[in-house]
């Protein structure tokens, strides 16, 4: 039977998103039996990340510096500001190679039921950031879920009220997909936005 240090490890692993008791047990067992070096490395990485990563003063993404490398990159088009929910969404846009402007990372999305309001996604900082005199267009790239849409809608209203041009990523049929298998709401949007 498990003793205390093992139970403590399983409890700590269970706090990770998407990890239940079975996964936590499997992870703890794997680390102790087959990958103690991996366990030590993970402990070090956690400590290091918590100590060194904080929010970029300009775009709110995680960075070790005062301002992140993307915000400081002079090759970026400072007239474009793309608003995303998470650093992972930003990374996906970067991988697409379709965007060369700057970013603002909300680090979440509006979710009144979970108590996530405008202050939690840095809405005031976004409004100040977008009003730097160089930004000409704010592209809202929040997700196309209900909460992402609500977030985009609220931010668009506030940004437009300050005279900024606001756009939204196009909705449509994903590349490589057959119409037969695309959900009807997507087809309806693609039809409405046809060009």
CA angle centred on 129, ends 126 and 131, rounded to 5°: 110
Examine residue 188 and tell whether it contacts its own copies (CB under 8 A): no
Q: Scan residues 26-85 and list those touching its own copies (CB under 8 A).
A: 26-33, 35-36, 38-53, 61-65, 68-70
Using the structure block, give the residue that is written with the tokens 């057959």: 178
Query: Closer CB to its own copies, residue 53 or residue 191?
Result: 53
CA distance 138 to 169: 11
Tell me how many residues contact its own copies (CB under 8 A): 61
CA distance 23 to 182: 33
Minimum distance from CB of 129 to its own copies (Å)? 17
- Buried residues in 115-137 as b, exposed as e (16+ CB within 10 A): ebebeebbbebbbebbeeeebee
Q: Scan residues 91-120 and list those touching its own copies (CB under 8 A).
A: 91, 94, 107-108
Query: Closer CB to its own copies, residue 25 or residue 186?
Result: 25
Q: Are strands 62-63 and 54-55 parallel, antiparallel or unpaired?
A: antiparallel
Q: Which residues bind its own copies (CB under 8 A)?
A: 1-6, 8-9, 11-13, 15-19, 22-23, 25-33, 35-36, 38-53, 61-65, 68-70, 86-88, 90-91, 94, 107-108
């Amino acid at each position: 039977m498990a003793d205390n240090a093992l139970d403590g490890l399983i409890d700590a692993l269970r706090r990770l998103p998407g990890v239940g008791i079975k996964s936590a047990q499997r992870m703890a067992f794997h680390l102790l039996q087959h990958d103690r070096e991996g366990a030590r490395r993970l402990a070090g990485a956690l400590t290091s990340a918590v100590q060194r990563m904080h929010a970029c003063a300009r775009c709110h993404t995680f960075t070790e510096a005062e301002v992140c490398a993307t915000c400081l990159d002079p090759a970026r088009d400072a007239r474009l500001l793309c608003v995303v929910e998470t650093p992972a969404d930003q990374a996906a846009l970067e991988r697409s190679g379709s965007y060369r402007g700057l970013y603002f990372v909300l680090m979440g999305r509006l979710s009144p039921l979970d108590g996530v309001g405008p202050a939690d996604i840095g809405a005031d900082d976004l409004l100040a950031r977008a009003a730097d005199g160089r930004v000409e267009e704010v592209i809202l790239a929040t997700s196309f879920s209900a909460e992402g849409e609500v977030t985009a809608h609220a931010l668009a209203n506030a940004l437009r009220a300050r005279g900024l041009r606001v756009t939204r990523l196009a909705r449509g049929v994903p590349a490589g997909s057959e119409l037969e298998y695309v959900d009807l709401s997507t087809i309806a949007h693609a039809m409405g936005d046809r060009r």
